[in-house]
Amino acid sequence: MRRDEVSGLDWVTILIYLAMVVLGWFNIYAVVYDEAAGRDIWDLSLNSGRQLVFIGASFVIIMVIVIMDLRFYEAFAYVGYGLIVLLLLLVPVIGKEVGGNKAWLGIGSFGVQPSEFAKFITALAVAKYIATVGFKMDNLRNQAVLFLIIGVPMALTLLQKDTGTALVFTSFILVFYREGMSPFLIIVGASAAAIFVLTLLVPNEIYLYAGIGVIWALIILLGKKKVGRIALVTVGAIMISGVIASVDYVITDVLKPHQQNRIKALINPDADPLGYGWNVTQSKIAIGSGGFWGKGFLEGTQTKFDFVPEQSTDFIFCTIGEEHGWVGTLLVVSLFVALLLRIVYLAERQKNRFTRAYAYGVLAIFFFHFAINIGMTIGLFPVIGIPLPFFSYGGSSLWGFTVLLFILLKLDSHRGEVLQRI
């Protein structure tokens, strides 16, 4: 590896990455720590020992990414996309089931999750298409192609019963918006989601319909009596009413029982604290019990006695909250905010559209994981099973996020060279 390859990398981002990985490793050990067993953090029979192996492999991956020719990533985008789609098609046929999801390909005890790698490959494919000569985001055909690019891996991931990972692909709308797409779809989507949640919170839908009727009447009576305006307001009221009417159908006929329970846990976890509300309730107990400073490293009782399922993976934030308190959670949140802001900085200093679009894809994926994972551990989002980047246990997720980030750092390190090629 040449010195200029290393010196050109953004070391601020790398230091944030290293801090997250190390802190994640220690917290994984805290989850599996058993004083009576007498096994240390290096023990390969523990998740902490295996995670160390994954971390070592990540450094090898980083070196490969750094020494790879710059042009490879853009050239590989569509080929890689085709390969990952093929792997996603094979998973339901020859994959193995882990945690109720048939989302793994493996040999013996070793397995990888193709959907984790689909994230960065989809980001490359989206960026390559956006960088096409003559590309315009306001062109409906271009928008259709982009939604197809993210829709295919999303649909195939849904077939694996991995709803959480599938939803990550919706975050690419941020990239589309940055590159010139009208915010209309974002506003409509956010509004529909808000109405959906509001419908779940209100005990009787009749109150919502009455509210819509009152608002519609006020707008019509107090505004200008123009046919176009009246028609627009009426169509809007009908669409909102349609969303409200669809909620019951979606909950009872579309969602599976375990997904229904997750929605119920979000709305009222106390209704069944020993059943579907268990995860969220115990998670909040763990975080709340940490107080300001926390109970101390390896001193978490909720963690030690395994009250929260999947605490090494999806609920790793509970361990941080219990053992390190408000100070520890603030540190973790601050690291993520710093990483996200750094990625924005890297994205905006690019002169090449491919790199900028890819950078915003990286930003969107990290933000989705960060916001949703922490949100579900504190009861703000339903439990959908996605890891906290660099903190949660698992080789596939760690490698996927590492590749995602360091491809960006590689592209950024040669931004001058990229500009010259243009």
The per-residue pLDDT for range 73-101, each reduced to its tens digit, is 999 999 999 999 999 998 887 767 666 66
The whole-chain average pLDDT of the chain stands at 85
Higher-confidence position of 264 and 199: 199
Q: What angle do CA 258, 262, 263 make, to 5 degrees?
A: 120
CA–CA distance, 162 with 141 (Å, rounded to integer)? 29
CB 328, CB 290: distance < 8 Å:
yes
pLDDT of amino acid 422: 41
Distance CA 113, CA 84 (A): 11
Residue by residue, DSSP assigns 340-381 as HHHHHHHHHT--SHHHHHHHHHHHHHHHHHHHHHHHHHTTSS
Q: What is the distance between the alpha carbons of residues 177 and 327, in angstroms, rounded to a whole number? A: 35
Q: What percent of the chain has pLDDT over 70?
A: 88
Is residue 412 within 8 Å of residue 10, measured between CB atoms? yes
* CA dist., res. 408 & res. 422, Å (int): 18
Question: Rounded to a whole number, what is the distance in angstroms from the first to the last CA of the chain?
Answer: 26
In the predicted model, is pLDDT for residue 302 greater than 50?
A: yes
In this predicted model, which residue has the larger pLDDT, 125 or 418?
A: 125
Answer whether residue 207 shows pLDDT above 70.
yes
Least confident of 181-195, 374-388, 391-405: 181-195
User: Distance between CA atoms of 70 and 73, rounded to whole angstroms?
Assistant: 6
Alpha helix (H) residue ranges in 278-315: 278-289, 301-304
Q: What CA–CA distance (Å, rounded) separates 177 from 189?
A: 13
The pLDDT, as a whole number, for residue 2 is 59
Alpha carbons 25 and 40: distance in angstroms, whole number: 13
Strand partners, 112: 105
The contacts found for 199-207 with CB under 8 angstroms, 24 or more apart, are 199/243, 199/244, 199/247, 200/247, 200/251, 200/263, 200/267, 201/267, 205/244, 205/245, 205/247
The predicted model scores a pTM of 0.88
Helices (H) and strands (E) in the chain, counts: 18, 3
What is the strand order of the sheet 96-98 is part of? 96-98, 101-107, 110-112
Check residues 175 and 270 and name the one with the higher pLDDT: 175
Distance set, CA 170 to CA 29, 175, 181 (Å): 33, 10, 14
pLDDT reading at 420 higher than 50: no
Q: How far is CA 69 from CA 13, 82, 417, in A?
A: 21, 21, 12
To the nearest 5 percent, what fractions of the chain are helix, strand and coil? 70, 5, 25
Query: Any long-range contacts for 163-166 (C-beta under 8 Å, 24+ apart)?
Result: 163/259, 163/384, 163/385, 164/372, 164/384, 164/385, 164/386, 165/103, 165/115, 165/116, 165/385, 165/386, 166/115
Mean pLDDT confidence for 162-178? 90
